[in-house]
């Protein structure tokens, strides 16, 4: 039986349905967009074949590179700050009593289930320069010089939006990691406690190493989710001031729908898809390459 299922033919037969669905729903819809990106298109009809001119044109604009810088800043915030905090939160939830554990799990999921519009409007109020929460706190402790117009200052706007995104989804990642923690057999922890390991040693030498597969999934989810960052920017700043808070997805939307240059907009979309594929490949290739088995 094992010999039969290990043949290339049997593998191809079982993989064919999934491959067919992937081709129909993921690959095929990209082909018209790829074709559109090679034309001067107004959204209704092609005005002529331009080849790679759309790609060269969008890459010559400063907004294209500003949007990429902003997008990768959000990815960095999500991965380098968000994931470690999510892990700490997941470990914190795991050591609580059942009653407190239920409370913290509900609290962690609450921001993620809220509408992006609601979350963004709440944080816009927090950042309001005259009566917003953050400036009010700074004034109350005598740090008036640190008050800012957070969403109109070019030095703080992207970090401010990034913190909003981080707050909304850090709990969701923590719950995913906590779920992974609960799948680790308890005998590993019992053996560690018998050997005299403390909580830090248990976390760094047992829990985190055995969470490699879950951490890879959360890393991909966080990275690609951050790459597709759009709604918070749309609600909080509309890409402003100027174009300083645009992300790649926002720049694609602006180019296609606000300026009716659908050829250039789809060119940005194709570049974005290629970047996502590269990031996904790199994570799959270099993160947790060996499967953990209990």
Indicate yes or no: pTM above 0.85. yes
What pLDDT tens digit does each residue of the chain (294 aa) get? 455 555 777 778 888 888 888 888 888 888 888 888 888 888 777 778 888 899 999 999 999 999 999 999 999 999 999 999 999 999 999 888 889 999 999 999 999 999 999 999 999 999 999 888 999 999 999 888 888 899 998 889 999 999 999 999 999 999 999 999 998 888 888 888 888 888 888 888 888 888 888 888 899 999 998 998 899 999 999 888 888 999 999 999 999 888 889 999 999 999 999 999 999 899 888 876 666 665
Q: Out of 3.40.50.300, 1.10.3470.10, 3.40.50.11890, 1.10.3720.10, select the CATH number for domain 45-286.
A: 1.10.3720.10
- DSSP symbols for 194-253: HTT--HHHHIIIIIHHHTHHHHHHHHHHHHHHHHT--HHHHHHTTT-STTTT--HHHHHH
Q: Which of 27, 29, 60, 54 has its CA nearest to residue 41?
A: 54
Of all helices (H) and strands (E), which one includes residue 44? none
Q: How many CB atoms lie within 10 A of CB 238?
A: 12
């Amino acid at each position: 039986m094992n010999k039969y299922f290990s043949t290339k033919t049997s593998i191809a037969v079982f993989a064919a349905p999934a491959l067919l669905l992937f081709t129909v729903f993921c690959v095929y819809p990209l082909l018209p967009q790829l074709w559109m990106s090679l034309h001067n298109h107004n959204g209704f009809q092609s005005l002529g074949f331009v080849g790679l001119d759309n790609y060269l044109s969008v890459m010559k604009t400063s907004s294209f590179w500003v949007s990429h810088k902003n997008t990768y800043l959000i990815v960095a915030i999500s991965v380098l700050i968000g994931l470690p905090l999510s892990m700490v939160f997941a470990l914190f939830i795991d050591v609580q009593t059942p009653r407190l554990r239920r409370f913290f799990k509900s609290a962690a999921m609450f921001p993620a289930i809220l509408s992006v519009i609601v979350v963004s409007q709440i944080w816009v109020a927090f950042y309001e320069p005259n009566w917003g929460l953050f400036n009010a706190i700074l004034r109350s402790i005598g740090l008036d010089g640190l008050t800012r117009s957070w969403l109109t200052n070019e030095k703080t706007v992207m970090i401010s939006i990034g913190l909003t995104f981080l707050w909304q989804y850090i709990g969701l990642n923590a719950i995913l990691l906590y779920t992974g923690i609960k799948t680790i057999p308890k005998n590993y922890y019992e053996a560690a406690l018998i050997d005299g390991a403390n909580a830090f040693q248990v976390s760094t030498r047992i829990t985190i190493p055995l969470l490699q597969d879950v951490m890879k999934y959360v890393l991909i989810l966080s990275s690609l989710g951050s790459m597709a960052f759009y709604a918070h920017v749309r609600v909080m700043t509309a890409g402003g001031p100027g174009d300083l808070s645009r992300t790649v997805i926002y720049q694609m939307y602006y180019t296609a729908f606000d300026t009716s240059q659908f050829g250039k907009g789809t060119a940005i979309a194709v570049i974005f898809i290629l970047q996502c594929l590269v990031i996904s490949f790199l994570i799959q290739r270099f993160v947790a390459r060996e499967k953990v088995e209990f």
